[in-house]
Amino acid sequence: MSMLSIVVPIKDERDNLPRLHEEITRALAPLVGASGPSGITDYEVLLVDDGSTDDSLLVLERIAANDRRIKVIALRRNYGQTPALRAGIDAASGDVIATMDGDLQNDPADFPKLLTLLSEGYDAVFGLRAKRQDGLFLRKVPSLMGNWLIRQVTGVEIKDMGCTLRVMRRDLAEALPLYGEMHRFIPVLARMHGAKVMQVPVNHRPRVAGVTKYTLSRTFRVLLDLITVKFLHTYVTRPMHALGMPGLIAMFLGVVAFLATVGMKYFSPNPVFMTGNPLLLLSVGLELVGVQFLSMGLLGELLARTYFESQGKPAYSIRSTINLHDNESRQAA
């Protein structure tokens, strides 16, 4: 059995908090000390107030005063969901980290199912909102399009990237590079670390209080973040492969354009002066672009080398070892 830490970012959810506390307690209390794959030794709930402007923090303080399992982290201002998740994960003490939203659309009653699946050898289990209770054009359609695009670009076959109901092993949660707005790419980041993941349908409920923080502008921010995630997923340790190939292609096309310019002057029935041929300018432009791409690739290689070597970061992640420290001890002896 494991200690469970549930991280819940809160932003202006005053009216939802009492019921959220009740539902979490009702779902997890029977699991404490219970036998079976979903049993836990104990649990804690880290409620991270992300700069709420209503009375959410006051409600959280009252709840925490009556329940020792409730831990409140109040951020100085609104940083966003990803930093709030990071703050909760950093403060968590559990062997298993769970996350959910504070708007009551996630159902805490699904946690036993997720914990059971996690015990089967997975590093993370993500929820799938099978019957999503959101607006069609404002939420569902953009989400479907975004999830499809993310799957095509990253190759990670998780159908619902945006479901915040999830459980992860602590080592994986701590290794995730959560900054900016990367919370929506947690399944992709988990696969980047070689995690064994799966997704299971979970209950999704309509919002009953409070106001959604989702706007259509988030869809466009996802596209920008996707470029970053794709680079991190594929080329962070070899940026020259990402920038060098376009550079070589541009330089090759520049040579082709130059040869075409020469051919049009010396081998054409109607010669075209090289200085008046736009292909000459195109060849020069392509060569300059190619040199710039190669230069950026070299700079990227230097930055990647500096990043890993200066911080002592390895370019790999170890899942487990067998007899490794025993061998080291024998060599030292």
Structural domain contains residue 324:
no
Structural domain contains residue 134:
yes
Structural domain contains residue 23:
yes
Q: Are residues 282 and 218 in the same domain?
A: no
Q: Are residues 254 and 131 in the same domain?
A: no
Q: What pLDDT is stored for residue 327 in this prediction?
A: 47
Of the candidates 234, 256, 274, which is a domain's last residue?
A: 234
Task: Report helix, strand or coil for 242.
Answer: helix
Q: What pLDDT is stored for residue 179 in this prediction?
A: 77
Of the candidates 201, 234, 267, which is a domain's last residue?
A: 234
Structural domain contains residue 317:
no
Q: What pLDDT is stored for residue 5 in this prediction?
A: 95
Q: What pLDDT is stored for residue 329 in this prediction?
A: 45
pTM passes above 0.85 = no
64 touches 56 (CB < 8 A): no
Q: Are residues 14 and 47 in the same domain?
A: yes
Q: Are residues 227 and 264 in the same domain?
A: no
Q: Are residues 124 and 162 in the same domain?
A: yes
Q: What is the span of the domain harbouring residue 230?
A: 2-234
Structural domain contains residue 258:
yes
Q: How many CB atoms lie within 10 A of CB 249?
A: 14
CATH classification of the domain holding 213: 3.90.550.10
Q: Are residues 161 and 269 in the same domain?
A: no
Where the chain has pLDDT below 50, the residues are: 327-333
Structural domain contains residue 259:
yes
169 touches 124 (CB < 8 A): yes
Q: Give dist(CA 123, CA 319) in Å, integer.
A: 10
Structural domain contains residue 330:
no
Q: Are residues 105 and 8 in the same domain?
A: yes
Q: Are residues 171 and 36 in the same domain?
A: yes
Structural domain contains residue 171:
yes
Of the candidates 234, 262, 297, which is a domain's last residue?
A: 234
Q: What pLDDT is stored for residue 135 in this prediction?
A: 66
Q: Which strands make up the sheet holding 166-169, listed edge to edge? A: 70-74, 40-49, 2-10, 96-99, 166-169, 124-129, 197-202
Beta-bridge mates of residue 113: none
> What distances in angstroms separate CA 56 from CA 53, 87, 215, one per listed residue?
8, 18, 22
Q: What pLDDT is stored for residue 313 in this prediction?
A: 61
Pick the closest to residue 75 from 96, 90, 93 (CA basis). Answer: 90
Q: Are residues 257 and 199 in the same domain?
A: no
Q: Are residues 144 and 271 in the same domain?
A: no
Q: Are residues 175 and 283 in the same domain?
A: no
Q: Are residues 190 and 270 in the same domain?
A: no
Count of domains for the chain: 2
